[in-house]
Amino acid sequence: MKISEEEVRHVANLSKLSFSDTETTEFATTLSKIVDMVELLKEVDTAGVPITTTMADRKTVVRADLVEAATDRDDLFKNVPQAENYYIKVPAILEDGGDA
């Protein structure tokens, strides 16, 4: 199956990735080849076959609802790229920058 460049741009947008025009063209070719490989599955009769999504031997695990020490706040901020007064800094979300 041929994946179009428009489709690559759509999937890139869903994936929060951006590609140059050259990369988009390359991706369309590579993804088409990979999709051709997986198209092999079409020949398998799977009518009525259940889908497997997990290998876990149990489905739901519950724990006792107990109060425990939480992670230290300084630890939680150790890897934050930009922070101030225990807030994570990001650009303004509102279009005019917001002044509230």
Task: Write out the residues near another protein by the rule CB under 8 A.
Answer: 3, 7-8, 10-12, 14-19, 27, 30-31, 33-35, 37-42, 44, 46, 49-58, 60-61, 63, 71, 75-76, 78-82, 88, 90-93
Nearest to 7 by CA among 69, 79, 63, 19: 19
> Smallest distance from the beta carbon of 84 to another protein, in angstroms?
14
Which of 52, 48, 17, 45 lies closest to 31, judged by CA?
17
Residue with Cβ nearer another protein (17 or 25): 17
| Dist. CA 8–CA 25, nearest whole Å | 9
